[in-house]
Amino acid sequence: MLKFNSLIKISVVILISLLNFYIMYLIHKDNFWILLDASFDVLTGTPHWRSHQSRLLGPIILRILFPFGKYYEHTTAIIYVLGFTCFNNLFFYYLLNKISTKNNLALKFLILFNIIFLISQDVWLFAWDFLEIAFFVSYGYIIITKEYLNFLPLLTFLHIFNRESSLLMILFFLYYFYFNYSKEKFKTIIFLVFNFVFGIGYMIISRNFLFIQQGDYLDGGQDLENTFLGGNWITPVYNLNTLLLNGGYIEKFIIICSLIILFYYFLKNYKVFDITEKYLMQVSLVLTLPIFVFGIFTETRQYFPTIVIFTYLIYIRKLKKIKN
């Protein structure tokens, strides 16, 4: 009976994933080629932006899975997106269920995550965005359970090749070990320090030496001379102008209001958060605030990692209320 119930729940998770993918397909069906072009162009040194040049992991996986590349780009995009949507949901459900099996909460919160994920869809959607979810599903579980801390050097090292958010997480875990130090974790700390130094070096070197020219999609040229911090822009003024000008005020209003509600939730509950909840809150802030400094706040795909961590936070908050 237990195995049958588990099969039913796994089937529901797969069904949720298929529905998620179908809605994503309706949103992006005319632009799936962007995902493939952006990914394969990273491998040829001609990405849309220099900052994409260091994000090699997703494009390499695509190339390994689909060696014929752009000849089958539409099918490739569908299979890649569908595959990682199913994988991420099954992985997230498995870890939520490991934390607690009470009241089918894992399934309910997985549905919540998928709803927020779909609401947060952006015009842009890249191969590395799906891998980001898998990494942060792992990070959230490690923070909550304190399990697999010894795997952090390997996990963060792989993450370096997907996106520079890995550097933020390495800094967070160094901060974490500062308050939870033990001799057994000394090697882990040393490896994390190595990963941070390596990650900065890799980001700068890959963006300056692998980058040949900006891809044709944006007509090239804007990013040729941008070598600051390995190709990052400083965007507070741009974001302020975006907020006040250029239309799209309803979309921008929704984004800003959502972030205000999120920060208000953190402030309101900070005193009652236990230490794990505070760590999750801090990770959410560490992931969100740099978007306003180095990113574009209207590119909502950048909030995917925060959505994962916030789902974990409200999940364990709900579990505490049930216990009480």
pLDDT tens-digit readout, 48-70: 888 899 999 999 988 887 766 55
Q: Does a structural domain hold residue 260?
A: yes
Highest mean pLDDT (candidates 115-119, 120-124, 242-246)? 115-119
Give the model's pLDDT for residue 224: 64
The verdict on residue 151 lying in a domain is: no
The pTM is what? 0.93
Count the domains in the chain: 1
pLDDT at 304: 97
At 244 the pLDDT is 87
Contact (CB, 8 A) for 94 and 44? no
Residue 119 lies in a domain: yes
Which residue range is the domain that position 10 belongs to? Answer: 2-145+211-323
Domain-embedded: residue 185: no
Query: Across residues 113-132, what is the average pLDDT?
Result: 92
Residue 192, domain member (yes or no): no
306, 138 Cβ separation under 8 angstroms: no
* The CA-based dihedral angle spanning residues 46, 51, 57, 62, taken in that order and rounded to the nearest 10 degrees: -40
Q: Dump pLDDT digits (tens) for 35-50.
A: 777 788 898 888 888 8
Query: What percent of the chain stands above pLDDT 70?
Result: 91
Mean pLDDT across the chain:
89
Buried b (16+ CB within 10 A) or exposed e, 282-296: bbbebbbebbbebbb
Mean pLDDT of 236-255: 88
On whether residue 200 sits in a domain, the answer given is no
Reported as a pLDDT band with limits 50, 70 and 90, residue 87 is very high
Q: Is residue 190 part of a domain?
A: no
Q: Cα 7 from chain centroid?
A: 28
The number of residues in the chain equals 324
- Best CA proximity match to 224, nearest among 47, 44, 38, 39: 47
